[in-house]
Amino acid sequence: MSKSNASGADVPLIGARNIRMHFYIRPSFLTRLLTSAREQVVLAVDGVDLDVWPGETLGLVGESGCGKTTLGRVLTRLYEPTQGDICYQGNPVTGDTVLVSPNGQDSSQHVKFYRLAQIIFQNPYSSLNPRKTVREIVGTPLRQRGVSDPIQREEETVQLLRRVGLNERHIDSYPHQFSGGQRQRISIARALAMRPRFIVADEPVSSLDVSIQAQVINLLEELQEEYHLTYLFIAHDLSVIYYISNRVAVMYLGHIVEQGPTDHLFESPRHPYTQALLAAIPRVRKEARRERIILPGGVPSPIDPPSGCPFHPRCFAKVGPICIEKYPPFFQVEDQKVACWIYEGHTSHG
């Protein structure tokens, strides 16, 4: 637990309270007329509280459709949440601006939130505009940041390219001229150009080859140290999460079901879902393999999630009817927070 809270900050860099992100599926008039289809609500994120501390890497894991990408986009304000607040250093983000005091003592000023929070997307093939050169791709955020002098912009672009391990002769190339790993490096340079404090990395390595993944992971770690970045690292690959995160939050069907320091969470997972997830990782070494827990069924649809604890239809450790009736609050189990009725009796949060 070297890095988390190492800054000694008492205010989280990003604080999210009771975030809900609901998407509405509205069938067309004709469909409604001909069938009994009605408006449906996808509860992609359904009441999430999350703190990201300065300088840490918070890993967010979960299976597809659990809402982790949606949460990442809400935290960078790409989505306006249906409900809930996001604070930056304790100051609420309103619209797309936030009141910050640059050095802590000067009078505070309004800053565009995108200056502070950037995102790296999963698929480097679709997240870079194929009609723009690297110069334009990286130059756009620089211009937004206020680097108006073209010579200075060029200099900084070259610097950024070098920093992420690309050659400056690549500056006038188009995205299709690069391999997947190189494209992801361009995305990283684009995010860095804004000099953000907080970066959401949404599955940045999952579309890359195994031997290339490690290059990008190491690059992200170096950059974090160099620029004092704070990461929310979204992935479904638990070994990558284990490697890069200080703290981990596990998501299931729009809720965070467990969070805690990486080592403790991987050593003694408390929530039955986390236990099953960890047991399902294929291990290279025999002695590292856990007793297999095979969960029945698949992840239910977020359109009509199960009542109570959303995990109860697949759970192997149900306590009783309360699991079906009531969503559990977080219980503090040592330094992990677990949303499971098994731990009723421990101190609870909200």
Partner 1 sequence: MENTPLLELRNLTTIYPTRRGLVRAVDDVTFSMARGQILGLVGESGCGKSTVLLSILRLIRRPGHIAQGEIRFRGRDLRDLSSNAMRTIRGKEISMIFQDPLSTLNPAFTVGEQIHESLRLHRVMDGGRLSVSPRAREKERVIQVMTEVGIPSPVDRYTAYPHQFSGGMQQRALIAIALVCEPALLLADEPTTALDVTIQAQILDLMRRINRDHGTAIILVTHDLGLAAEFCDTIAVMYAGRIVEQGPVDDVVDHPQHPYTQGLLNCRPRISHRELRVQPIPGNVPDLADLPPGCAFAPRCPHHRAVCGGGPIPLIETSPGNISRCLLHVDYRRQEGWGWGDRV
Binding site for partner 1 (CB under 8 A): 63-64, 179, 181, 209-215, 217-218, 236, 238-240, 242-244, 262-263, 266, 276-277, 279-286, 288-289, 292-295, 298-299
Q: How far is the CB of 123 from partner 1 (least distance, A)?
A: 15
Q: How far is the CB of 175 from partner 1 (least distance, A)?
A: 16
Residue nearer to partner 1 on the CB measure, 282 or 320: 282
Buried b (16+ CB within 10 A) or exposed e, 314-342: bbeebeeeebeeeebebbebeebbbbbbb
Residue nearer to partner 1 on the CB measure, 187 or 246: 246
Q: How far is the CB of 87 from partner 1 (least distance, A)?
A: 31
Q: How far is the CB of 65 from partner 1 (least distance, A)?
A: 9
Q: How far is the CB of 19 from partner 1 (least distance, A)?
A: 23
Alpha-carbon span 230 to 198, nearest angstrom: 5
Count CB-CB contacts under 10 A for residue 29. Answer: 8
3-state SS, residue 65: coil
Give just the sign of the alpha carbon dihedral 131, 123, 70, 350.
negative
> What is the full DSSP assignment across 286-333?
GGGPPPP----S-PPPTTSPPSSSTTGGG-SS--STHHHH----EEEE
Q: What are phi and psi of 187, to 5 degrees?
A: -60, -40
Q: How far is the CB of 105 from partner 1 (least distance, A)?
A: 39
| Apex 132 CA angle, 156 and 115, nearest 5 | 50
Residue nearer to partner 1 on the CB measure, 160 or 276: 276
Write a three-state SS string for 112-131.
Answer: EHHHCEEEECCCCCCCCCCC
CB 117 within 8 A of CB 74: no
Q: How far is the CB of 78 from partner 1 (least distance, A)?
A: 24
Residue nearer to partner 1 on the CB measure, 136 or 221: 221
CB 250 within 8 A of CB 62: yes
Residue nearer to partner 1 on the CB measure, 236 or 346: 236
Residue nearer to partner 1 on the CB measure, 151 or 284: 284
3-state SS, residue 42: strand
3-state SS, residue 273: helix
Residue nearer to partner 1 on the CB measure, 36 or 211: 211
